[in-house]
Amino acid sequence: MKTAFIMQKEIRESILTPKGFSWYVLTSVILSVLSYLFLTNSELSLLDQGQMLYMIMNFITALGILVGLVFGADAFAGEVERGTMEALFLSPVTKAEIAIGKLGAALTNWAIILAISLPYLFVVGKGGQNLLIGIAYVAILGTFLAIIFSAFSMGLSSRVKSVKNSLMVTFFIFLLAGAPIFLSAAQRRTWFGRILDFINPFACAINTFDSVVIDSQGLAYQAGRVAIICGYLLLSLWFLKRSVSRLEM
């Protein structure tokens, strides 16, 4: 129950302050521009519907990761810097309860972003193949990735105790995670590209989206990549638990 109140406090801060709500407005504006460009730009609009849906799914997932990283960076370091952490520690709440509450709020942020994205997914994917299955995959894998990157970021935040340093590292992580996007199709087929794809949970997700939406492949085909993502999920939660347990004033 205490976890729920901490989560509620975090969510209220997201919704009631411009700092939080601006992310939702930004998500909507960027998706509006992207989807309009996709559908009206002379070259982009002639992409296969599946291709368009795939690209929007990647963007939504990347945005979910970014928001998770940014909120996570502030989770503990921000409270320490603003002097509010001590009052929390004085209360009969365990560090694990605080972490779970904050992680719950991070997931709620992701859920709001996903809800905002749904109309765009429907509009861009309308008439194309695998729309509903694509949405299901972005919801499930996107949630896993939101947890992974939020948890890593929060764990880092509790160790570093500085929002500035925490943000710097999380942006670096974001660039690393997004690295496969910057490689060409040919580069991704090299040994280096394959290793990068293999160890990168975001790459696993976008390859899964490609496989499901464009190539219409089933769940069994995704098993390996989904297993890697689940592995990262466990690792990130372990990292968060361990980092937070060592957090001291």
- Point out which span in 11-19, 143-151, 169-177, 181-189 binds another protein (CB under 8 A): 11-19
Contact of 144 with 227, CB cutoff 8 Å: no
DSSP 45: G
Comparing CB distances to another protein, the nearer of 214 and 233 is: 214
171 binds another protein (CB under 8 A): no
State the Cα–Cα distance between residues 118 and 114, nearest whole angstrom.
6
Question: Between residue 63 and residue 82, which ones bind another protein under the rule CB under 8 A?
Answer: 79, 82
Contact of 160 with 79, CB cutoff 8 Å: no
Of 58, 24, 57, 52, nearest to 37 (Cα)?
52
234 binds another protein (CB under 8 A): no
Comparing CB distances to another protein, the nearer of 18 and 191 is: 18
State the Cα–Cα distance between residues 125 and 27, nearest whole angstrom.
18
Burial class (CB in 10 A: 0-12, 13-18, 19+), 240: buried
Q: How far is the CB of 100 from another protein (least distance, A)?
A: 14
Question: Between residue 118 and residue 157, which ones bind another protein under the rule CB under 8 A?
Answer: 119-120, 123-124, 126-127
Q: How far is the CB of 176 from another protein (least distance, A)?
A: 31
Binding flags for another protein, 79-108, as an x/- string (CB under 8 A): x--xxxxxx-xxxxxx--------------
184 binds another protein (CB under 8 A): no
The DSSP string of 123-149 is HHHTTSSSHHHHHHHHHHHHHHHHHHH
State the Cα–Cα distance between residues 49 and 129, nearest whole angstrom.
7
Q: Which residue of 7, 11, 39, 206 would you call a contact of another protein, by CB under 8 A?
A: 39
32 binds another protein (CB under 8 A): yes
Can you say whether the dihedral through the CA atoms of 137, 13, 21, 152 is positive or negative? negative
Q: Which residues are at the interface with another protein (CB under 8 A)?
A: 1-2, 5-6, 9, 13, 15-17, 21, 24-25, 28-29, 31-33, 35-36, 39-40, 42-43, 45-46, 79, 82-87, 89-94, 116, 119-120, 123-124, 126-127, 248-249
